[in-house]
Structure 1
């Protein structure tokens, strides 16, 4: 029998473990507490999404909407809900959360042919689907069109950036996580209006490189992205931001996670459309403070000094308050 080298065997076992953890999370969530699976039709396809309504929701009041996009793994939006705690935050803050599902758990984020079944994925109109979903929720669940926010992880984060470029009229702000701007669409990024943006990336991400270049999972190449600095520079230019940032090092509350957080903020001229970077120094391909799998050999270090979902919701809700004044 052919034996795998130790390193390859280790990574293969980690991939199996990751898939098993994902499957367990989905099974544990059924029936989904506080989540409703719904569908709409777009571009000849039935598309699905999970929806969570806060207890304050009524048909007479308009509510903010958060769209949270899963990564390009093998699980849909219900697992993202399980691992991030956005539903609990929605109940506390009073906003609606939608977790759209990509086709085959992937998004057509603009990188082109990048992953499994990618020949099919590049034909999917995800910009159109997500735009139609926003309109659907405005019409059916009293969403305030002036308070629509989008975030996403990895493939979902890059899809969030694409939406910021191509459907900015539908969005109030975006927050991509462990994601950089897909290189193929960077030169054509033309938002209709300035869009506040919070980016949260790890400097030691083994999949989506901080310094830009090819996105990789082990030996598989999955398209090219700009660097984190180039992504910030692009959005600073689009939002007419100052080139001089304010920088803050956050407290290293967890000495065991081999990472710290540096917050870089650029003030912009247009209606509070600031650009903010949460640089996870030493961090890998993971969502700080969330319940995502902790696999440092495969994904790098996970920071626990901050709670990423809480940071993102606070960012969006601060814009929510500004829009009311």
Structure 2
């Protein structure tokens, strides 16, 4: 079962196609790690696969890993419709980019993604102890919510331009602590540009975003019981990394800050320049896999 294909996942009386990629030559008897790669709002799983380029990272990795790109189920109207549709995730309690809260009958995407993991574990020989999630923008918010609610399923997350640590409170500038209470540590890596105008680095007063990136990162460090003071290192001309160590259960929390970076995926070959500067000084997909491999969970 190697190569790129579509797997049907049954959930709540319906069937949803999920794009998956299994490294060529993978031994079917060996369970591999799984990376959920969640698209941004107004996009879909096929488009996200092009942005992240995680297929190539999976193929080049020494052990290899399975990549899954499910698609959200809230349809969005778009001036530039994509061939596979324009969709948004049902992030609990958060409006979509259209500014509207999901309808009451919207698919429960926390439960859906849990079902995706279970289904692929049966069909694609997944190591359930090494399941990870990344996501771009709205997909990063969805990956964050999954980690908050189902840390038993997710060993680590690596949102790009979308890390959250629970919903914004009524004033939007602070976090509602009751909305992210994981029962065990989850390692967190994130990438964010300082000139992101969609999800601003320093936050805004919009319920779709709210508090800033540093607040999200420091809150995850608290949730993961990190006791050491964060250390920041300049890794290239425009990129620095802030690391929190000495966390419970071997977890870690890291933030790559891209100076003057836009609402973009570092290292992508897809033209996202309409959303700001795309740095090529780092490759988010390669770095996140190295982080995932180093943090297999408990």
The secondary structure found in structure 2 opposite 1:279 is: strand
Give the TM-score, by structure 1 length: 0.79
1:50 matched residue in structure 2: 19
2:72 matched residue in structure 1: 102
Contact map agreement 2:131 2:155 (CA 8 A) in 1: yes
Q: How does 1:57-76 map to 2 (within 5 A)?
A: 57-73=26-42, 75-76=43-44
Q: 1:265 to 1:173 in 2, by over 3 A?
A: same
Give the TM-score, by structure 2 length: 0.85
2:115 matched residue in structure 1: 132
Deviates more, 1:108-117 or 1:120-129: 108-117
The secondary structure found in structure 1 opposite 2:286 is: helix
1:21 matched residue in structure 2: none
Q: Does 1:197 align with 2:163?
A: no
Q: How many residues align?
A: 274
From 34, 52, 55, give the equivalent of 1:84: 52
Give the whole-Å Cα distance in 1 for the aligned partners of 2:16 and 2:234.
42
Q: 1:163 to 1:224 in 2, by over 3 A?
A: same
Contact map agreement 2:7 2:19 (CA 8 A) in 1: yes
Deviations 1:129-179 (A, max 9, x none): 000110111122111111101000000000010001001100111011101
From 235, 247, 251, give the equivalent of 1:250: 235
Deviations 1:242-295 (A, max 9, x none): 35112110122xxxxxxx101000003312211000011111100111023232
Structure with a larger share of its residues in helix:
1
Give the whole-Å Cα distance in 2 for the aligned partners of 1:233 and 1:204.
20
Contact map agreement 2:228 2:246 (CA 8 A) in 1: no
Q: Does 1:278 align with 2:256?
A: yes
Gaps of 5+ in 2: 76-86, 170-174
RMSD of the TM alignment (CA)? 2.2
Asked which structure has the greater CA Rg, the reply is 1
Contact map agreement 1:239 1:268 (CA 8 A) in 2: no
Deviations 1:35-86 (A, max 9, x none): 212221212332221011112323311111111001002x311121123221
Could you list the structure 1 runs, at least 4 aligned residues long, displaced by more than 6 angstroms after superposition.
Answer: none
Q: How does 1:119-158 map to 2 (within 5 A)?
A: 119-120=102-103, 123-158=106-141
